[in-house]
Amino acid sequence: MTTQNGIAALPQLGLGLGLRNVHFEHILTHWPDVDWFEAISENFMDSQGRPRDVIRKVADRYPVVLHGVSLSIGSTDPLDLDYLARLKTLAHEVQPQWVSDHLCWTGVMGLNSHDLLPVPLSDETLAHIVPRIHKVQEVLGRPLILENPSTYVGFKDSTIEEPDFLRALADQTGCGLLLDVNNVYVTCFNADADAMAYLDAFPWDKVVQMHLAGHTDCGTHIIDTHDQPVRPEVWELYATAWQRTGGASTLLEWDGNIPDFDTCHAELLKSRAYMGGAGFQQVLDAAQIAPATGVSNPVSFLVPDVMDAATPADQG
Amino acid sequence: MADTLTDLQHWMHRALLRPEEANPQEVDARLTPHPRLSPSGALAIYQQSYRLRIASCMREQFPALCHALGQDLFDDFAAEYVRDCPPESYTLYDLGRRFAGFLDAQRPDRDSQTREVWVDFVIDLARFERDVFVTFDGPGAEDLPPASPATCDADLRLNPSLRVRAYQFPVAQYYLAVRAKAAPTPPPPAPNHTAIVRQDFGTRIVPLRAGHARFLSVMTECTTVALALAELGPGALTPWHDDPGLKTDWLRAGMFVAADAQT
Ligand SMILES: [Fe+2]
């Protein structure tokens, strides 16, 4: 086993928030009472400026998890060892509780779509991904945690249901799972499948973490936009998932139209109302907000704040 | 269709890059229909996401150019750019790296005798915005010993973030006006030298005289003041030899650090 400790040793962190650029100042000033933060690895791993400084400071005070969008574990291109090395360096620096990414591919032919593209769920894909997970775990020296993506297409080559596919990956590699409850809802709606049946089939003993997020209903389909409050239907699934995981670490993702920190935090804390397992009378108002861009975009930039130097503008 | 995984991914990635070339029969052969969405309609969600994501990231990386062109035209340029130079890196920070070069290579007046001024401005502004973006997150001086007025010339080193650039237009002023939401109009040409530098994670723009820009450029190659002066030739003097206030200003803008004790 390349991973020193299995996923069973990973802690329950409580309720966490995605570490987002627009909140940096607030966090560093107020050190809010949040259980933990999840950072998008790619937003920090190459930074030699403010983002790197911020994540170091945050990691000094809070448990941190690194969540990637570019591992491309399902791609038929070779694994990007340079990327893995940079991820490992960042992990060494901030000592995350774990490192996660998605069951997806992001590109082939040396190109990158910057999207989380689904793979056909088949024995061929399983046989392709299992050794890649082993390799990633060997390089990182820790178990990889993989998330179910939101999907908008189904492949004719798919022969395995997603919960079974994830279970097989976890059984064969020792990797853990990140159950994105909103993605379950989005994927099942788009595939005209039953989200509760998905949960019934899920390998709960492999779940290390859960994601919550808002989505946009486009009528014929749903897009995982992360730009609004969690929808009541997703809270309902979360209540079940909370029970079945026995309280897995929960994280709220908000990536577009990001409100102030306290609003995000209040949205996260709504999850407490769904931990009792009772009915859903408390279903909270989740008025739909107009989507920011209609696209899920987990990698946002800290836009440079440029100043004119106080130097006399003596040109010549 | 029994594709290999490799075939399927190559096909799908091409369908994202070139939606108009995705053959509907091939889409139907690979993707399952849903009650509310055809296979092509489902694939279009990814095709649209790709386009929107790239456009939105490009706008974030080139806000002033987006203002100058207007969003529709900017998005068209960005879309053409990624068709020509599809993203290769795992990081979106790399997205705008080749944009100025692309605009230059594609300029509509390439083969004509006279150059369109507005095209020159667009390319100049793209270069500047990339410089600012890279300076913001690249190597800096935050962990290095700061230089002070007491630091002797022999111990001065340049801030690693410092970029010395020549532009044909007052792009820095234009950029600052856009950031201040002042809705500037494109300026006439005004060749200038500019330093872009980061201090305490804040990026600053410092106007330079031509001779000063030359000195600083040489110093970025040569490391020390003495080596830069040697490179510039006999009789060369520091830009501040007769103007101590200039050194103070440059120190205040964070352009120098102090040499490490070991170096
Ligand atoms: Fe997620």
Secondary structure of residue B26 in the 3-state scheme: helix
Residue B81 placed within a domain? yes
Residue B116 placed within a domain? no
Given a cut of 80, is residue A293 above it in pLDDT? no
Residue B146 sits in the same domain as residue B97? no
What share of chain B has pLDDT > 70, as a percent? Answer: 98
| Domains of chain A, each with CATH number or no CATH | 10-309 (3.20.20.150)
Distance of CA B171 to the CA centre of its chain: 12
Lowest mean pLDDT among A17-26, A99-108, B103-112: B103-112
Residue B145 sits in the same domain as residue B98? no
Given a cut of 70, is residue B235 above it in pLDDT? yes
Residue B158 sits in the same domain as residue B258? yes
- Residue A32: the pLDDT is 98
Given a cut of 60, is residue A316 above it in pLDDT? no
| B31 DSSP 8-state letter | B
Distance from Cα A146 to the centre of ligand 1, integer Å:
10
The residues near A60 (Cβ < 8 Å, ≥ 6 apart) are none
Find the CATH number of the domain harbouring B156. Answer: 3.90.930.50
Q: Residue A282 — pLDDT band, cuts 50, 70, 90?
A: very low
Residue B257 sits in the same domain as residue B147? yes
Record the tokens describing residue A248, joined without a space. 């897995």
- Residue A225: the pLDDT is 87
Residue B146 sits in the same domain as residue B196? yes
For β-strands A64-67 and A99-102, DSSP reports them as parallel
Which H or E run contains B196? Answer: strand B192-199
Given a cut of 50, is residue A314 above it in pLDDT? no
Residue B99 sits in the same domain as residue B150? no
pLDDT, tens digit, for every residue of B57-88?
Answer: 999 999 999 999 999 999 999 999 999 999 99
Residue B134 placed within a domain? no
Q: CA A140, CA A151: separation in Å to the nearest integer?
A: 28
Q: Do A153 and B63 touch (CB under 8 A)?
A: no
- Residue B72: the pLDDT is 96
Q: Do A157 and B45 touch (CB under 8 A)?
A: no
Nearest-Cα residue of chain A relative to residue B55: A293
More confident residue, A311 or A84: A84
Diameter of chain B measured on Cα atoms: 81
Which H or E run contains B16? Answer: helix B5-17
Residue B171 sits in the same domain as residue B220? yes
Stretch A54-76: mean pLDDT, rounded?
97
Strands laid side by side in the A306-308 sheet: A306-308, B202-208, B192-199, B163-167
Q: CA B87, CA B97: separation in Å to the nearest integer?
A: 10
- Residue B33: the pLDDT is 87
More confident residue, A125 or B110: A125
Of the residues B82, B105, B128, the one at which a domain ends: B105
Stretch A296-306: mean pLDDT, rounded?
56
Residue type at position A207: V
Stretch A165-178: mean pLDDT, rounded?
98
Given a cut of 70, is residue A45 above it in pLDDT? yes
Given a cut of 60, is residue A301 above it in pLDDT? no
- Residue A193: the pLDDT is 94
- Residue B3: the pLDDT is 75
Q: For an interface test with A, which of B4, B45, B48 has the most A Cβ atoms less than 10 Å from its Cβ? A: B45
Q: Residue A199 — pLDDT band, cuts 50, 70, 90?
A: very high
Given a cut of 50, is residue B191 above it in pLDDT? yes
Give A38's strand partners.
Answer: A18, A65
The closest CB to that of A70, out of B3, B90, B197, belongs to B90
Q: CA A66, CA A43: separation in Å to the nearest integer?
A: 10
Taking CB atoms and an 8 Å cutoff, what residues of chain B touch A47? 137
Residue B251 sits in the same domain as residue B183? yes
Q: Residue B261 — pLDDT band, cuts 50, 70, 90?
A: low
Stretch A180-202: mean pLDDT, rounded?
96
Q: CA A25, CA A88: separation in Å to the nearest integer?
A: 27
Given a cut of 60, is residue A229 above it in pLDDT? yes
- Residue A91: the pLDDT is 98
Residue B161 sits in the same domain as residue B240? yes
Work out how many domains chain B is built from and give that number.
2
What is the nearest CA distance from A261 to chain B, expressed in angstroms?
A: 22
Burial group, residue B138, by CB count within 10 angstroms (0-12, 13-18, 19+):
middle
Residue B9 placed within a domain? yes
Q: Residue B108 — pLDDT band, cuts 50, 70, 90?
A: confident
- Residue A3: the pLDDT is 47
Distance from Cα A126 to the centre of ligand 1, integer Å:
21
Which H or E run contains B167? Answer: strand B163-167
Secondary structure of residue B2 in the 3-state scheme: coil
Stretch A255-274: mean pLDDT, rounded?
94
Record the tokens describing residue A17, joined without a space. 């928030």
Q: CA A226, CA A254: separation in Å to the nearest integer?
A: 5
Residue B91 placed within a domain? yes
Given a cut of 60, is residue A7 above it in pLDDT? yes
- A99 phi, psi to nearest 5 deg: -125, 130
Chain A 34-93, CB below 8 Å of chain B: which residues?
Answer: 42, 45-51, 53, 70, 72, 75-76, 80, 83
Chain A 232-291, CB below 8 Å of chain B: which residues?
Answer: none
pTM (2 d.p.): 0.91
Residue B160 sits in the same domain as residue B258? yes
CA separation, residue A151 to residues A103, A164, A274, B195 (Å):
11, 16, 26, 46
| Residue B171 neighbours by CB distance under 10 Å | 27
Given a cut of 70, is residue A29 above it in pLDDT? yes
Given a cut of 80, is residue A302 above it in pLDDT? no
Taking CB atoms and an 8 Å cutoff, what residues of chain B touch A75? 9
Q: Do A49 and B136 touch (CB under 8 A)?
A: yes
Q: Do A316 and B210 touch (CB under 8 A)?
A: yes
- Residue B59: the pLDDT is 95
- Residue A287: the pLDDT is 45
Smallest CA-to-CA distance from A21 within A234, A261, A186 is with A261
Domain of residue B157: give its range.
140-262
Residue B76 sits in the same domain as residue B178? no
- Residue B43: the pLDDT is 96
Q: CA B76, CA A274: separation in Å to the nearest integer?
A: 46
pLDDT, tens digit, for every residue of B156-179?
Answer: 999 999 999 999 999 999 999 999
Residue B110 placed within a domain? no
Q: Please, which residues have CB less than 5 A from ligand 1, an ion? A: A 180, 211
